[in-house]
Structure 1
Amino acid sequence: MGFPGVPRAATAAATLALLAACAGPGPSGPAEDPACAPYAAYHGQAGSTITVSSSIRGVEADKLVQAWAGFETCTGITIDYTGRADFEKSLPVEVAAGHVPDVALFPQPGLLALVARAGRLQPAPAAVADNVRRYFPADWQRYGTVDGELYGTPIDGNVKSLVWYSPKFFAAHGWTVPQTWAELIGLSDRIAGTGTKPWCAGIESGGSTGWPVTDWLEDVLLRTAGPAVYDEWVEHRIPFDDPRVVAALDRVGGILRNPRYVNGGLGGVASIATTAYQEAGLPILTHDCALHHQASFYTSFWPANADIAPDGDLYAFYLPPVDPAAGRPVLGAGVFAAAFTDRPEVQAFSLYLTTPDFADSRARTSGIVSSNKGLDRDVLTTPIGKLSAALLADPEAAFRFDGSDQMPAAVGAGTFWSGMTDWIRGADTATVLHRIETTWPA
C-alpha cells in the first residue's frame, strides 16, 4: 500500500507550474521508492523545513501530521508543526511583531481576513488557485477570499448540526431519535423524568472558552429565522442583538440554562463554564446524560474502544429543525491553509493541501470530511464521517459556515466567545448581545 499521490489531484498546468518552481535535484533515499513516484512533482526542496501553526492540538494534531507524512517522507521536506491553545489570540500579535509561521491553518475566515488585510499573507499561487476552483464549491472558495483575492484554501470540513447520543441507551428506554424541535424538547422532558439529566455540555477551551455556545446560537438561529436572516446577521446587515437573535439565544437557554436538563454527570448549570469541551460528552458513556450537541470532529475525543455506530455505544443524529417545512439547515465549519511566505517548498506544500489525495489521507487518518469534491467517500470508514459527508452532500440541505468564524476576529473570536461565557454564567440575554453589538468594528 503506497502513499496517496498527486496525479489525479493536480491539473497538468498546476504540475508544470510547480515543476518549474521546484526545479532541482529531488530528495535521495525515499524518492527512489516506487511508492513515492506520485510525489515527483513536489521534488527539489529536500532538506528544507516548513513551519506550520494552528489551533489543532493533542490527538487530533497527531492525526493531522499523519495525513501529510507521505509528503514529508517522499519529498524530504520537514513540516515543523505547532498546535497552540491561544492560536486565535496570539497570531495577530505575532503578525504585528513580524514573527509568523510559513503556513497557518485558520479555523476562522474572519481571522484570515484580518491577517490578510494586514498585508502579511501571500495570495494563493496560480496553481493553488486553479486547484481550489477545480475541487471546491463556490461558497468554500468565497470563505477563503479577501477583497477579491484568494488567500485561504480549504483543507478540512465538519458538520456542527449534530447531537451525540447512545443508541443502546435509547433502545433500553424505548426512546427514538426526534425529527422536530418539539420532539427534541419532549424527549428531553421524558429523560429528565427518569432522573437522568438529558444534556451535558462544556465550553472551557483555554483562550477560546465560550465557542460551543456560539454554535448552539447559530444552529438555532438557522432553524428559527432561516438562512437569509442568518447571513444578514453574520455580515452585520442587521444588529447583533436583533430581536430574532435574542429569541434564538433564549431558546438555547431553555436547554443549557435549564437546571432540569443539565449538566449530567458534571454538575449544575454553572459547571458548563468550567467543563472542558473535550470532556463534556463523556457522561453519555456512563449514562449520566443522554444528549450532547457537538460537531463531527468530536469523534476524536471519545475513547478508542467506544463503539460508534447506529446501534452502538455512541452515534449522532441531525439537530432537528423547528419547522421541517422550512428546510434542512446544516451548520458546519472548516480549516483554511494560508501562507506567509512564498518559497518553493511552501508553494509545493500548499498545492498538495488542495488535492483530493490529501483529503483522502486526512479522511483515512482521522475520519475528517473535506469539502473537496474529489474526496473518495469510500475511504471514510467511520459512521460519523459517512453521516457528515451525506449531510454536506444533501442537495436539500441549506449549508452555512459557522457564523462566529466569519465575523471580524474582534467579535467572532473575542467578544462573542466571552459574551457567551458570561451568558452561561447567568448574564441577561439581551444585555449580553447588545454588549457584543457595541464591539463590532466600524
Structure 2
Amino acid sequence: MSSTLHRRLTAPLAVLAVSSLALVGCSAGGPGGGDTHGPGDAGKADGVVTIYGTISDTEAELLQQSWADWEKANNIEIKYEASKEFETQISIRAQGGNAPDIAIFPQPGLLGDLASRDLIQPAPDEVKANVEKYWSKDWANYGTTDGVLYGAPLMASVKGFIWYSPKQFADNGWTVPTTWQELLDLTQKMRDKLGTAPWCAGFGSDAATGWPGTDWIEDLVLRQAGPETYDKWVSHDVKFSDPAIKAAFDSLGKILLNPDYVNAGFGDVKSINATPFGDVARAMGNGTCSLTHQASFFDGFLTDPKNGNATVGPDKDIWAFMTPSVEAGGNAVTGGGEIVAAFSNDADTIKVQQYLSSPEWANSRVKLGGVISANNGLDPANASSPILSEAIKILQDPKTTFRFDASDLMPGVVGAGSFWTGMVDWINGKSVDEVLTTIDGSWPSS
C-alpha cells in the first residue's frame, strides 16, 4: 500500500484522536520528556538520529533497509518511528519539546503550519543544494514557507492514469486518446462495439469512501482550468461553486453519471459508491471492464494473484495512459509524496537530511520496489515495474507541471471530509450545485 493511500484510510482516526492525544501531549515535553532539541538549538551530535512519520508495516521495513548501508558507512544510527496519529502528534511533540530530529510530512500544509510558527529548522545549505539540483521548482515549493526552504521531497506518487487492455485496443483499432474529447469519443466507440459499459469505478473505502472521485476532479481541474486556478482552489480563493470547478464535475459526469458508460461488472451508476476501489482490479483483470481511472499504485492490485494475477506493461495484459488534457500535448499531473524536515540541526541530523534528499538514497529505495521519487538523479530503470518507471519519466520531464493532491492540501474537514462525502452524494444523484455549495459551507472560517 502506498503511504498516500495509507494516509487516506487512517485520516479519520487521526481526526477522532485529537482530543485524547492533546491531553497526553500536555505532559510529553519538558525536562525528562525526551529529546529536547528544537529550532535555534544546535543540539549535540551523538551518533543517533530519530525520524518520525506515517510510513508503516512493510514500507517502513523497506525504508529502514534503504539507508542501512549508509548508516554503517557513516557511523550514524537512524531510529525510525511510525505512527497513525502523526498529523496530531507531531504538533503536540514539537510544542512540548519532545520533537524527533527529523519528520517525514505527508502533507505540505502541515509542514508549512509548523514552519510558520518557528517550530522547524530551515533547511541547511547541503539540503538546499540538493533540492536546487535534483528537484523541480514545483516540488521545492511544497517544502517552502514564506520564501524559506524548510524541507526536501522524499518519495512520490503519480495519479491520473487510465488503465486499459493493449490487446483489446489493437484488436479493435483503438488508439490512446490525446485530448479529453478524444477520450469521450473513444468511450462511445467502445460502447458501440462492446455493447456494454466500458468503464468501471469504485469509490468504496470504508470511512474514506469517495476519495477516488476526488482524484478524478483534481485531474480535471488541473488539466482544464490550469495550475493557477488549481492553486487558488486549494486555498479557497476559488470556491468549489466557481464555474471552473463545476466544469470539472460536468466533464466527469459525462462518464461517471452515464449509465451507458458505467459501471462494468458491478451494476449501475450508484454501484460506484458500493464498489471497493480495489475490487476494480478483478474486473480489469478478467476483461469485464475495459477502462478505469486510478493512481500508479493500482499496479499492485492488478498483479495480485487474488485479483487474477494480470501482467502490466505496454505489451502485457494491462497498461495505462495519463488522463488527457483539453488540448493535445498537455503535460500536467497530480500526485502525492512526502517532505522531510528537521527539528534539530546538529551535524548528524544534517548529514541524514542531505542523504535523504540525494539521488543515492532515491535509487537505493526505489531499487527495493513499490515506490518512486521525483528526484532527477533517479534512474527510471531501477523501478520495480514498468508503470513506476513510466511515472518516474513523467515526473522527471521538465515540461511536466506537477501539483500535489488538492484534498491533501485542503483543511482536513474538507479534503478528508466534505469533499469525499460530496463525491458520494453526487454519484447518488444530488445536484452538482447543491454538492458544491455544501462543500464550500464546510470550509473553516479561519
The TM-score, its normalising length taken from structure 1, stands at: 0.77
- Correspondent of 1:363 among 361, 366, 376: 366
Greater mean alpha carbon deviation, residues 298-307 or residues 249-258: 298-307
- Correspondent of 1:331 among 330, 334, 352: 334
1:166 aligns with 2:165: yes
Q: Which residue does 1:225 correspond to in 2?
A: 225
Q: Closer, same or farther in 2 for the Cα pair 1:218/1:313, shift >3 Å? A: same
Q: Which residue does 1:41 correspond to in 2?
A: none
Query: Offset at 1:323?
Result: 2.7
Q: Distance in 2 between matches of 1:206 and 1:91?
A: 26
1:400-435, Cα deviation, whole Å (9 max, x unpaired): 333233334443344333333333333321222222
Q: Which residue does 1:129 correspond to in 2?
A: 128
Query: Offset at 1:242?
Result: 0.4
Query: Offset at 1:294?
Result: 1.6
Q: Residue 414 of structure 2 aligns to a residue in which SS? A: helix
Q: Which residue does 2:260 correspond to in 1?
A: 260
Q: Distance in 1 between matches of 2:239 and 2:418?
A: 15
Q: Residue 334 of structure 2 aligns to a residue in which SS? A: strand
Q: Closer, same or farther in 2 for the Cα pair 1:93/1:49, shift >3 Å? A: closer
Q: Residue 199 of structure 1 aligns to a residue in which SS? A: coil
Q: Closer, same or farther in 2 for the Cα pair 1:95/1:313, shift >3 Å? A: farther
- In structure 2, runs of 5+ residues without a counterpart are 1-41
Q: Which residue does 1:140 correspond to in 2?
A: 139
**Counterpart residue identity of residue 189, structure 2:** R
Q: Distance in 2 between matches of 1:98 and 1:205?
A: 36
Q: Distance in 1 between matches of 2:272 and 2:123?
A: 40
1:77 aligns with 2:81: no
Q: Which residue does 2:23 correspond to in 1?
A: none
1:192-243, Cα deviation, whole Å (9 max, x unpaired): 3424432222334455443322221121122322333323323433223201
Alpha carbons 1:166, 1:285 under 8 Å: kept = no
Q: Which residue does 2:433 correspond to in 1?
A: 430
Alpha carbons 2:203, 2:276 under 8 Å: kept = yes
Query: Offset at 1:285?
Result: 0.5
Q: Distance in 2 between matches of 1:320 and 1:372?
A: 24
Alpha carbons 2:380, 2:390 under 8 Å: kept = no
Alpha carbons 1:196, 1:264 under 8 Å: kept = yes
**Counterpart residue identity of residue 80, structure 2:** D
Aligned pairs (5 A) from 1:173-184: 173-184=172-183
Q: Closer, same or farther in 2 for the Cα pair 1:69/1:166, shift >3 Å? A: farther
Q: Distance in 2 between matches of 1:386 and 1:322?
A: 25
Q: Residue 324 of structure 1 aligns to a residue in which SS? A: coil
Q: Residue 299 of structure 1 aligns to a residue in which SS? A: helix
Q: Which residue does 1:234 correspond to in 2?
A: 234
Query: Offset at 1:344?
Result: 5.5
Q: Distance in 2 between matches of 1:279 and 1:197?
A: 17
- In structure 1, runs of 5+ residues without a counterpart are 1-19, 24-43
Aligned pairs (5 A) from 1:109-128: 109-117=108-116, 119-128=118-127
User: Among the aligned pairs, what percent are the same residue?
Assistant: 43
Q: Which residue does 1:197 correspond to in 2?
A: 197
Query: Offset at 1:317?
Result: 0.7
Aligned pairs (5 A) from 1:16-31: none
Alpha carbons 1:423, 1:432 under 8 Å: kept = yes
Q: Closer, same or farther in 2 for the Cα pair 1:22/1:93, shift >3 Å? A: closer
**Counterpart residue identity of residue 296, structure 1:** S
Q: Which residue does 1:316 correspond to in 2?
A: 320
Alpha carbons 1:233, 1:240 under 8 Å: kept = yes
Alpha carbons 1:416, 1:436 under 8 Å: kept = yes
Backbone CA RMSD of aligned residues: 3.3
The TM-score, its normalising length taken from structure 2, stands at: 0.77
Alpha carbons 2:52, 2:81 under 8 Å: kept = yes
Q: Distance in 2 between matches of 1:349 and 1:265?
A: 49
- Correspondent of 1:400 among 399, 403, 428: 403
Q: Distance in 2 between matches of 1:135 and 1:70?
A: 22
